[in-house]
């Protein structure tokens, strides 16, 4: 009799333990996703992809397992300007970056042809200036960004220039972001000179390479 009474006392305790264990087994934690992906394409295709300065293949490509947050995407293709763009990655989402790369203009050699008819003499030098810009290094992280301005000048007149300077303006959507005075030195009649100048510039975070242009103003000539 005492044995049966003891068994009946133990049974509720066992049922309580089984209920607690069953409740613990039924609780499952939902997985927490902290990464996303980026679909990258370019025109032309085959550009090298660098995410936060780390090589990630060539375009077109999908970069998976990217930590959620802000990243810097860069595309490199020989003969084209580098494409740099900040990217915001959202967990469980796929961002899309489609870039149209800009061709770097080639510097063509100048051929001077002498004809039987001499050019009309001018009393002042006639200076024509053009050029382009590019990133000075592979790492673009924060402002001010170091840029390289390549400038070329031609004296198409018949009078020598003892000293030539010009202002180079970097413009974004019609607004001047930064400028510097370029010293070109002496330039003889019919001559040509080229120089590279470093300049630091604060660039907008949404800027692409095709948005930034270089313009030349205020050519100053000393005879």
Closest CA to 137 of 148, 129, 122, 149: 148
Length of the chain: 223
| pLDDT exceeds 70 at position 152 | yes
Is the domain 35-100 a CATH 3.30.1120.10 member? Answer: no
Q: Is 106 helix (H, G, I), strand (E, B) or coil?
A: coil
Q: Is 174 left (phi over 0), alpha (psi -120 to 50) or beta?
A: left
* pLDDT exceeds 80 at position 20: no
Tell me, what's the pLDDT at 39? 93
Cis peptide before 44 (omega within 30 of 0): yes
Pair 212, 133: CB distance under 8 Å: yes
What is the rounded average pLDDT of the residues 105-114?
65
Report how far residue 100's alpha carbon sits from residue 103's, in angstroms, rounded to the nearest whole number: 10
What pLDDT sits at residue 5? 52
Side-chain-facing half-sphere of 180: CA atoms under 13 Å:
17
Strand order of the β-sheet with 35-43 is: 61-67, 35-43, 94-100
For residue 114, what pLDDT is reported? Answer: 61
**What is the rounded average pLDDT of the residues 171-182?**
84
35-100 and 127-222 share one CATH topology?
yes
Q: What does the pLDDT read at residue 196?
A: 87
Hunting for tokens 């959202």 — which residue is that?
Answer: 90
Nearest to 148 by CA among 207, 97, 212: 212
Three-state DSSP state, 25: helix
pLDDT at residue 6 is higher than 60:
no
Q: State how far the Cα of 116 lies from the Cα of 106, in Å rounded to an integer.
A: 31
Residue 146, pLDDT above cutoff 90: no
Domain parsing of the chain, residue ranges: 35-100, 127-222
pLDDT at 73 > cutoff 90: yes
pLDDT value for 15:
63
Q: How many helices (H) and strands (E) does the chain have?
A: 1, 13
Residue 56: how many CA atoms within 13 Å on its side-chain side?
23
- pLDDT above 80: residue 142: no
Q: How confident is the model at residue 75 (pLDDT cuts 50, 70, 90)?
A: very high
Angle at 130 between CA 126 and CA 136, to 5 degrees: 145
In this prediction, what percent of the chain has a pLDDT beyond 70?
76
Per-residue pLDDT tens digits for 21-52: 555 554 555 566 689 999 999 999 999 999 99
Pick from 29, 80, 75: nearest CA to 51: 75
Place of tokens 């948005």: 211
Instruction: Out of 23-27, 97-101, 157-161, 197-201, give the one with best mean pLDDT.
Output: 97-101
CATH number listed for the domain at residues 127-222: 2.60.40.10
Q: Is 60 exceeded by the pLDDT of residue 7? A: no
> With bands split at pLDDT 50, 70 and 90, how would you rate the model's confidence at 206?
confident
Residue 57, pLDDT above cutoff 90: yes
């Amino acid at each position: 009799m005492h044995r049966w009474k003891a068994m009946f006392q133990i049974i509720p305790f066992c049922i309580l333990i089984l209920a607690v264990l069953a409740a613990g087994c039924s609780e499952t934690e939902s997985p927490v996703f902290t990464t996303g992906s980026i679909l990258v394409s370019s025109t032309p295709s085959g550009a090298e992809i660098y995410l936060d300065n780390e090589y990630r293949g060539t375009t077109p490509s999908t970069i998976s397992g990217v930590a959620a947050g802000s990243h810097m995407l860069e595309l490199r293709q020989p003969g084209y300007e580098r494409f740099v763009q900040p990217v915001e990655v959202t967990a469980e989402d796929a961002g899309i970056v489609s870039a149209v790369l800009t061709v770097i203009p080639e510097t063509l050699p100048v051929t001077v042809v002498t004809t039987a008819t001499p050019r009309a003499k001018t009393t002042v030098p006639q200076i024509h200036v053009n050029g382009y810009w590019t990133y000075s290094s592979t790492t673009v992280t924060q402002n001010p960004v170091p840029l390289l301005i390549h400038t070329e000048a031609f004296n198409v007149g018949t009078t020598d220039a003892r000293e030539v300077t010009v202002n180079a303006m970097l413009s974004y959507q019609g607004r001047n972001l930064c400028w510097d005075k370029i010293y070109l030195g002496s330039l003889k009649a019919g001559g040509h000179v080229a120089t590279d100048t470093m300049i630091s510039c604060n660039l907008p975070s949404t800027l692409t390479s095709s948005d930034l242009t270089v313009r030349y103003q205020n050519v100053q000539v000393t005879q």
